[in-house]
Amino acid sequence: MAEVNFKPLGDRVLVKPIERETMKGGIIIPDTAKEKPMEGEVLATGPGKMTDKGERTAMDIKKGDRVLYGKYSGTEVKMDGETYLIIHQDEILGILG
């Protein structure tokens, strides 16, 4: 697991997208035909969302979880030559077991 010097705020999660295989049945799929990955590994989580009463809600996601998220979820950022996504916890569809 990569170490990144980044701490998300609120209910945001830093995810490293997991690329799918680029070869299908001996045919290499060009980058322009690839779909965006929708699976990733959680590298960091924020402390949780603040409620109107000033209480912090617990995060359901933790560092190291493999998650599934929507195709157009989050904000793509580049740090140290790597591409990551910053996603709100409620944009994550589920944890892969």
Tell me the pTM.
0.79
Q: Model confidence over 15-47: pLDDT tens digits?
A: 999 876 554 566 665 655 556 668 999 999 999
pLDDT tens, residue by residue, 48-87: 999 999 999 999 999 999 999 998 899 999 998 899 999 9
Give the pLDDT score at 78: 93
pLDDT of residue 29: 58
pLDDT level of residue 5 (50, 70, 90 thresholds): confident
Specify the pLDDT at position 21: 57
User: Using CA atoms, how far apart are residues 32 and 25, in angstroms rounded to an integer?
Assistant: 18
Task: Quote the CA–CA distance of 41 and 86 in Å, as a whole number.
Answer: 12
Question: Which residues are CB-contacts of 70 (< 8 A; sequence separation ≥ 6)?
Answer: 38, 91, 93
> What's the CA gap between 12 and 44, in Å, rounded?
9
Residue 1 has pLDDT above 80, yes or no: no
Which pLDDT does position 37 carry in this prediction? 67
Distance, in Å, from the CA atom of 15 to the CA atom of 76, rounded to the nearest integer, reads 10
